[in-house]
C-alpha cells in the first residue's frame, strides 16, 4: 500500500505568552521518574539510588537524562509534629535530604512529588494509608522543606483537588508557583491536571511544563490515542521555559514492541516533549537503550525553533508529523498506524538532504520509507 502525502509547509506559528520567569527548563527536561517502574508500594530509596547509578553507568545521564524524580508514596503516613512532610521511615530510612545528596553525587538532579489538595493520587487509587500529606494549607512550609532538602524539580499533581477540596486548578497551581519563586533555590515546576482545563492555554506563566493528557499506559492503543490528542494541542505549543507534556515515556514497559517504542519516542521528540524514562534503566534491552539514548533523536527533542511539532497529514493507516529545526531544516515523522507494512511518503517543497535518524544514515532527497506496522521513521531535512 502506498500512502502519498503532498504537503505545503505552513509556518504560521502563533505568538506565545511569556513563559514562567524562573530561568529554568530552557529545553524540555529529561530524566527518570519512579512511577511507571515501581508505582507505589515498591518505591524505596534503594530503587532510586539504583536508578541514579544506572543513568550514570548506561550513558543516559550524559545523553541528557538529568532529573531523578521520586513520585507518589515516598511520604510517611502523617506529617511530623511541626507539620512538615517526612519520608516513610521504613522505605526511606535515611530521609530525602540524604537521597538528594546521593543523586547529586552522581552528577544528577533530584525531583519530588506533591499535590495541591489534601490527598495524593495513591491515597485515592492505591489505598495508600496516609492522612494530611497533601500541600493544602502547607504550601509555604512544603516549598521551604523542598528547598532545605535540595530539591531541583517538583511534580505537582492535581489528584481530584477540585472534587475533594473545592480548589480551582489555576489558583492552586499559582499558589505553589509563588511559594517556589520565593525560595533561594531554583526548582523546575511541573504541573499535572491531565489536560482537563486546557492548561496549554493558561499555564505558560504558571509552570515549566504541564500535562496535556491523562496517564499513558504501556500499550500501543494508549500511545496512539495520546499521539492523536496532541494534534489539537500543538498549535498552542509552549516556548523555551514552558512545555506541553504528553506524559512520561513507556519505552521498555508493557506490551510495546521495539518498533512501537521507537515510534512513541519519535513523536515525543518532534513534539518537544519532556523525556522521562519510566522503567528500570539497569534492565533496558539493547534496543530500548538505543532508542532512549539516540543522540540524533534527542537533538530533535531539544531543538525548539519557534514551533512544537504538528500533525501535517493523517489518514487510514498513517500519520505525518513535522517541526522546524534551528538552521532552517525540519524534522519529520512518518508513522504507520496500520496493521500491515506500508510505504509512507511526504512530498516537501524545496531541495533537501534527508537523514534517517534511527539508521544514522543519509537517504539523499527521498522522504519515503517502507514501515512495518506501528513503526515510524524519524527524518531530518537539511536545505541543500
Active site residues: 157, 215
| C-alpha–C-alpha distance, residues 174 and 171, integer Å | 5
> Residue 261 has what DSSP assignment?
H
C-alpha cell, 266: 519519535
Concatenated DSSP letters of 292-345: HH-HHHHHHHH--SS---EEEEEETTEEEEEEE-TTS-EEEEEEE-SSS-EEEE
Q: Would you say 303 and 235 are in contact if contact means Cβ atoms under 8 Å apart?
A: no
In sign, the C-alpha dihedral spanning 257, 258, 259, 263 is positive
Q: What are phi and psi for residue 353, nearest 5 degrees?
A: -100, 125
| C-alpha–C-alpha distance, residues 367 and 352, integer Å | 9
- Strands 188-192 and 153-157, sheet pairing: parallel
Nearest to 102 by CA among 45, 39, 61, 59: 45
Residue reference for cell 487510514: 316
Report the first-to-last Cα separation within the chain, whole angstroms.
30
C-alpha cell, 11: 509556518
Q: What b-and-e string marks burial along 128-165, b requiring 16 or more CB atoms within 10 Å of the CB?
A: bebeebbbbebbebbbbbbbebbbbbbbbbbbbbbebb
Amino acid at each position: 500500500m502506498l500512502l502519498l502525502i503532498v504537503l505545503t509547509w505552513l509556518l504560521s506559528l502563533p505568538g506565545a505568552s511569556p513563559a514562567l520567569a524562573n530561568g529554568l527548563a530552557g529545553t524540555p527536561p529529561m530524566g527518570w521518574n519512579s512511577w511507571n517502574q515501581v508505582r507505589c508500594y515498591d518505591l524505596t530509596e534503594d530503587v532510586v539510588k539504583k536508578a541514579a547509578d544506572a543513568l550514570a553507568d548506561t550513558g543516559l545521564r550524559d545523553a541528557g537524562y538529568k532529573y531523578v524524580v521520586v513520585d507518589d508514596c515516598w511520604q510517611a503516613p502523617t506529617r511530623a509534629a511541626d507539620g512538615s512532610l517526612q519520608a516513610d521511615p521504613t522505605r526511606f530510612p535515611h530521609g530525602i535530604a540524604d537521597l538528594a545528596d546521593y543523586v547529586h553525587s552522581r552528577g544528577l538532579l533530584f525531583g519530588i512529588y506533591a499535590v495541591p489538595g489534601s490527598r495524593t493520587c495513591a491515597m485515592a487509587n492505591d489505598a495508600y494509608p496516609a492522612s494530611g500529606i497533601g500541600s493544602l494549607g502547607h504550601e509555604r512550609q512544603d516549598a521551604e522543606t523542598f528547598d532545605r532538602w535540595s530539591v531541583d524539580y517538583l511534580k505537582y499533581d492535581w489528584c481530584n483537588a477540585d472534587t475533594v477540596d473545592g480548589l480551582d486548578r489555576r489558583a492552586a497551581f499559582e499558589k505553589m508557583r509563588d511559594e517556589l519563586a520565593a525560595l533561594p533555590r531554583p526548582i523546575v515546576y511541573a504541573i499535572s491536571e491531565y489536560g482537563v482545563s486546557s492548561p496549554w492555554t493558561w499555564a505558560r506563566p504558571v509552570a515549566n511544563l504541564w500535562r496535556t493528557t491523562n496517564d499513558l499506559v504501556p500499550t500501543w492503543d494508549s500511545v496512539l490515542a495520546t499521539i492523536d490528542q496532541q494534534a489539537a494541542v500543538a498549535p498552542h505549543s509552549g516556548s523555551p521555559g514552558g512545555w506541553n507534556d504528553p506524559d512520561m515515556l513507556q519505552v521498555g514497559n508493557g506490551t510495546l514492541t521495539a518498533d512501537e517504542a521507537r515510534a512513541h519516542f519519535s513523536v515525543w521528540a518532534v513534539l518537544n516533549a519532556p523525556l522521562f524514562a519510566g522503567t528500570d534503566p539497569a534492565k533496558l534491552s539493547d534496543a530500548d537503550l538505543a532508542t532512549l539514548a539516540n543522540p540524533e533523536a534527542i537533538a530533535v527533542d531539544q531543538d525548539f525553533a519557534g514551533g512544537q511539532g504538528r500533525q501535517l497529514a493523517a489518514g487510514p493507516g498513517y500519520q505525518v508529523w513535522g517541526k522546524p529545526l534551528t538552521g532552517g531544516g525540519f524534522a519529520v515523522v512518518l508513522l504507520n498506524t496500520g496493521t500491515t507494512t506500508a510505504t509512507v511518503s511526504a512530498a516537501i517543497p524545496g531541495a533537501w538532504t534527508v537523514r534517517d535518524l534511527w539508521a544514522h544514515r543519509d537517504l539523499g532527497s527521498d522522504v519515503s520509507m517502507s514501515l512495518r506496522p506501528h513503526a515510524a521513521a524519524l527524518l531530518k531535512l537539511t536545505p541543500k
